[in-house]
Amino acid sequence: MKQILGLTTVILLGISLYMNGQSELQTQTQFRQWQQIHQKFYTQIEEQYRRMVFEENKQMIEKHNSNPENTYKMAINQFGDLTKEEFVAIYLSSEQSQGLRRKQQKTKSEYIENESYDWRNTTTVRDMKSGCISSWAFSAVGTAESYLSVVKSQKVLLSAQQLLDCDSTSFSCNGGVPYRGLDYIADNGITVESVYPYTAKFSPCKREGGPYRINGEEDVDDLKTALRQYAVSVFVDATNWQFYSTGIFSNCEDNINFAATAVGFTDQYWIVQSSYGTSWGLNGYILLAPGDTCGVESYGVRAV
């Protein structure tokens, strides 16, 4: 009898070790695949830590997605190996919001049932990459590209790097304010991405201005009214956007730390372009709940 019990214990122990081994192996395989897709390479010591963070993020995401009360879904993406604190430190900056012009009184345009606009086709999703807090520059070229496309019928990919290097009123890869970038474009003109490509780091200005011009910039009092014409630069709290995937987001905090481009709206949401590439969110976009969600209505500015 004792022997049989002993044998059973050994078998059970063996099975449980095997199962643990399998799930360990599964995790490792998933992490390896993710590493390959996103081209992440680490030293041996860092790899252990990154794998642990990845695993914790995956569990957090699964828990979030299994709660039916959440109005949006999360997914693992290129930020899978970063803690929330690291994501905030690398991609966001509340310091850059200094000098922003906040609207005290938000005028609201008339509500029109089923009204919707979508200017996603007038501007292009970019990837700011790590090492450069450049959302302000992508946000500025976002509204400028949309203006040029809609008003001047010029479809161009403008150079955000030129703003990072040449607009001395902002702080390049340490952040900046979109309206100052727009002032640079109004004063000097701007060139295109192919002439002055994005490098995700500061370099001394290689060439000033270019052939693409706007007349100036203006504050947007009512986001909806402005979005009936073309895209608008906005400044928002993006602290919890790290793993956004689909659905309507309203899980904001109270730090204005990321510049983005509002490109449209429906009765149910705002459509906002980010600069985390097309593998983030809805092909690079996020849907925000109506109203001043994450501050989307408070700092609007656009090219004119």
Ligand X SMILES: *[C@@H]1O[C@H](CO)[C@@H](O)[C@H](O)[C@H]1NC(C)=O
Kindly tell me which of 150 and 304 has the beta carbon lying closer to ligand X: 150
Kindly tell me which of 230 and 258 has the beta carbon lying closer to ligand X: 230
Minimum gap (Å) between residue 182 Cβ and ligand X: 22
Q: Which of 46, 62, 118, 253 binds ligand X (CB under 6 A)?
A: 118
The reply on whether position 113 binds ligand X by CB under 6 A is: yes
The window from 31-39, 110-118, 185-193, 276-284 that contacts ligand X (CB under 6 A) reads: 110-118
Query: Cα separation of 295 and 301, whole Å?
Result: 13
Q: Which of 16, 26, 121, 168 binds ligand X (CB under 6 A)?
A: 121
Kindly tell me which of 53 and 192 has the beta carbon lying closer to ligand X: 192
Q: Which two tokens stand for residue 133?
A: 């807090």
Kindly tell me which of 196 and 265 has the beta carbon lying closer to ligand X: 265
Could you tell me whether strands 258-265 and 285-288 are parallel, antiparallel, or unpaired per DSSP bridges?
Answer: unpaired
Minimum gap (Å) between residue 143 Cβ and ligand X: 15
Minimum gap (Å) between residue 120 Cβ and ligand X: 7
The window from 55-63, 113-121, 160-168, 215-223 that contacts ligand X (CB under 6 A) reads: 113-121
Minimum gap (Å) between residue 209 Cβ and ligand X: 26
Q: Restricting to residues 256-295, which ones interact with ligand X according to CB under 6 A?
A: none
Kindly tell me which of 95 and 118 has the beta carbon lying closer to ligand X: 118
Q: Count residues binding ligand X (CB under 6 A).
A: 4
Kindly tell me which of 118 and 219 has the beta carbon lying closer to ligand X: 118
Q: Which residues bind ligand X (CB under 6 A)?
A: 113-114, 118, 121
